[in-house]
Amino acid sequence: MDIERSRDRFAPHYLEHEKWKLGDYGAHPIDKYLRPGRIPHIWCSGCGLGISMTCFISALEESGLPLDKNCVVSGIGCTGRVAGYLKLDSYHTTHGRPIPFATGLKLGNPELTVTVFSGDGDLFAIGGNHFIHAARRNVDINVICVNNFNYGMTGGQVGPTTHLKARTTTTPYGNFEQAFNLPHVAVASGAVYVARWTTLHARRLKASIKEALLKKGFCFIEIIAPCPTAYGRRNRLGTGLNEMKYYKEHSVIRHNADPAEAELVLGGDILVGKFRDEEKPTFLDMQKEGTLDVMSGKGGSKK
């Protein structure tokens, strides 16, 4: 029913083109990755979440991974809705707990490629400990954190990534808390792949997500996204377009930079790039190795 409706709605004549014989529906080539009847999404005009999602889908398409072996786990918030829009095996979990769910998925079925797609408040405020410990164990999951500097869905409250001195609904005289530097947290916790991009760097972001999908170990990508309705309006950042222009002027690409320098300041430069890319045995590898050692009588501590 939904399929028929979405076909009728835009009546696209180009559906008769050869590219559409793939058995998909809808008007856009990406529509075969989206749940029918759920588009248009709820995100505001100028929001960066749609770009993040497009980049993720394109990266998934390019990576050539089988779709039925791909899972997306989301938490709560604007970004949490990604799981609801994607036509993959996707989970919309409780607040702050997408990483435990993803860890369980990966350990239960190691064949799966598990991606956590969530916001900064969900992953670093409520789920901060889960993030640290999943990175420490090097569980083979990919974490994509869309950072819009506040709790957008509930009306723009202050969060752990809000800039110093920024105004939000709960800090009307300016935020006086230090903000999290997410790539630094990830590197310090032991993530093997850490990158940060803004939504303007769509092509680099796509390449980065593809790398992360094909890489083993805990991969973390921070996406800096505009939030014109909740955050931009109170801080005089303008529309989504103004924020994108700001990224164009103020982002500095520096690969392998020290993540300690990647702190974000309101009105300052944004350091982007790939901060870390290394190889480490994953949690499952270590577990197998340990089990084999015990079975063969080597036993870890008796050396």
Of 245 and 280, which has the nearer Cβ to another protein? 245
Q: Which amino acid is at 180?
A: F
Among 25, 54, 61, 277, contact with another protein (rule: CB under 8 A): 54
Q: Which residue has tokens 């103020």?
A: 250
51 near another protein, judged by CB under 8 A: yes
Which among 51-59, 100-108, 161-169, 181-189 is the span making contact with another protein, rule CB under 8 A?
A: 51-59
> How does 123-159 read in b/e, with b if 16+ C-beta sit within 10 Å?
bbbbbbebbbebbebbbbbbbbbbbbbbbbbeebbbb
Q: How many CB atoms lie within 10 A of CB 115?
A: 29
Looking at beta carbons only, is 55 or 102 nearer to another protein?
55
Kindly list the distances between the CA atom of residue 14 and the CA atoms of 11, 22, 28, 36, 113, in Å, as whole numbers in the listed order: 9, 14, 10, 19, 33
Q: How far is the CB of 43 from another protein (least distance, A)?
A: 7
Pick 47 or 114: Cβ nearer another protein: 47
Closest distance to another protein from the beta carbon of 257 (Å): 25
270 binds another protein (CB under 8 A): no
Q: CB 61 → another protein: shortest distance, Å?
A: 12
Neighbour tally for 94: CB within 10 Å: 14
Q: State how far the Cα of 92 lies from the Cα of 127, in Å rounded to an integer.
A: 14
33 vs 218 by CB, closer to another protein: 33
Shortest distance (Å) from residue 252 CB to another protein = 19
Among residues 46, 127, 160, 183, which is the contact residue for another protein, using CB under 8 A? 46
CB 118 within 8 A of CB 149: no
Q: Residue 299: left if φ>0, alpha if ψ -120 to 50, beta else—which one?
A: left
Residues 186-225 that bind another protein (CB under 8 A): 199-200, 202-203, 206
Q: Cα 23–29–34 angle (5° rounding)? A: 80
Return the range that interacts with another protein (CB under 8 A); candidates 2-10, 97-105, 134-142, 161-169.
2-10
Residue 124 backbone phi and psi in degrees, to 5: -115, -20
Out of 244, 257, 262, 264, point to the residue binding another protein (CB under 8 A). Answer: 244
**Shortest Cβ distance from residue 176 to another protein (Å)?**
32
Site for another protein (CB under 8 A): how many residues?
43
Question: Which residues make Cβ contacts (< 8 Å) with residue 72, sequence separation at least 6?
Answer: 82, 83, 86, 88, 89, 90, 91, 115, 116, 117
Q: Does 264 bind another protein (CB under 8 A)?
A: no
Nearer to another protein, 61 or 263 (CB): 61
Residues from 3 through 42 that contact another protein (CB under 8 A): 8-14, 16-19, 21, 27-31, 34, 39-41
List residues near another protein by CB under 8 A: 8-14, 16-19, 21, 27-31, 34, 39-41, 43-51, 54-55, 58, 199-200, 202-203, 206, 239-241, 244-245
